Structure 1
Amino acid sequence: MKSLILGVLTLLSFSLAQAQNTHSNSPYQFIGEWQLDMTPNDSTDNNFAIMHIEKVDSKGFYGVFYREGVQIEEGRINSQTGHLYGALVSRDNSGSYNTSFYLKEGKLYGSTHAIDRDFLAVWTATKKE
């Protein structure tokens, strides 16, 4: 009887962990490679960038943003309002960038403020399969 109860508890524990990872507010949904459309208002433009989120933990998320080699710094997640939001800082040879985004129906909607270049880019992103 003890082994049956232990087995059921183990199964329930595993099922709960899986449900948490697939819940609509699970930060694990951010993990993967995203294709960023840097000009979502122009369907004829093929100006794409990447965001590859490799890891999520209790402190935030980690990976690259815009192109390979540009590391995500200060990746943070917030789901207080019932929606999943992310924010990050990145840097390259032309300056620093503050980026924020949110997830809606499997798509990211974001903006990137290029501090040293004096512009704000609005973008969308879809996850590569």
Structure 2
Amino acid sequence: MMKLQFSLKYFLISIFIFLIEVLIATKLKDVSFVRAYLGDVIVVILLYTLVKSFFRVDNQKLIGGILIFSCMVEFAQYFNIAEKLGFREGSLMYIVIGNSFSWIDILCYAAGCLLIYIFVKMTENKTTPANS
């Protein structure tokens, strides 16, 4: 169950990650690995921190939901959803939704979700006392 709760920590992390994404999209066009793969790994982390900025939600459900959402957006790209919704090529929404399906992108989203999961598990283990 999601409960509305603002977290300044996650909000500031979201802003930082968003700025990294903007930097990748605008300044690192020549660094193909970063642009093609790392941006997709980071975008799911951005989604996670953005949701955590405003809601208290189960981490595992959120990670799973983000992976499903990301895959749905990627599959929508296969059907040229941005064009069908009437967004012009080069417009902000056209860029956000994307325009080309890639199995590699789905792997990148899964890798990002796995990184979040590992990080969450590591932090949970540090904050909960060990069973004696």
**What TM-score, normalized by structure 2, do the two folds share?**
0.24
- Which one has a larger percent strand, Structure 1 or Structure 2? 1
The structure with higher relative contact order (CA 8 Å, sep 6+) is 2
Larger Rg: 1
